[in-house]
Amino acid sequence: MLKLNDNPPLTWPDTRIRNFNGTWRVAHCMSRNEKALAWDMVHKKFSYFLPMNLNAHESKGRTFKTLLPLFPGYVFFCGNELQRLEVLRTKRVANIINVENQAQLVHELEAIENTLIASFTNQSLKQFGKDCSNITEPFECKRTNSSYQRKNISCTDCKFFRIDGKYRDSFRNV
C-alpha cells in the first residue's frame, strides 16, 4: 500500500483535462496496475486522468488512508497513435478502448474531475483541522488571477485554495 504522497497525480500534466490535446482512449489495465501505468505515463509525459478516491480503514487500532482508483482497471489517456502504442508496450495494459464520442467523454470526465477537486478540498480542510470559515477572502487564483469573493470555494482552474494566508494544493495535501 502506497503512502498518500507516493501516489501518482490524478492528472498529468497538472492542468484541467479539457486542456489536453489528442484523442481520448481508455486503457484497460492488468489487475492492480492503474497507478503503475499512471507513473509510466508521467515519466513519458503522456496526458492521462486517473480518478481516485480517498479510502480510510482501521486495523488493529490504526487508521490507514489510501487512494483507490474510482474505476478499477481503467486509466483515461489522451494522445496520438504513437503514444497509444507506447502505452501498449508497457505490458501493463490488456486492451485499449477507443472512444467514439470524444466530446461526451470529456464532458463526463470533467464532471468527475470537479467532484474530486471539491472532495479533496474538503478532506484537506479536515486534515488541517480547520473549518471552512478560516478560508481567507478574497481568494485569488495563482494561475488565472481570477478572484472569488465567497468563502469555502476552491479554484477549479488551478486546483489550489487558500487557508490562513497560504496556498494549499488540494490533491497533494490530502
Q: pLDDT tier at 1 (50, 70, 90 boundaries)?
A: confident
24 within 8 A of 98, measured Cβ to Cβ: no
- Superfamily per CATH, domain 4-99: NusG, N-terminal domain (3.30.70.940)
Task: For strands 93-98 and 74-79, give the pairing.
Answer: unpaired
Joined together, the cell numbers standing for residue 18 give 479539457
pLDDT band at 118 (very low <50, low <70, confident <90, very high): confident
Give the confidence band of 110 by pLDDT, cuts at 50, 70, 90: very high
Query: What pTM, to 2 d.p., does this model score?
Result: 0.71
14-60 tens-digit pLDDT:
899 999 999 999 999 999 999 999 999 999 999 999 999 988 889 99
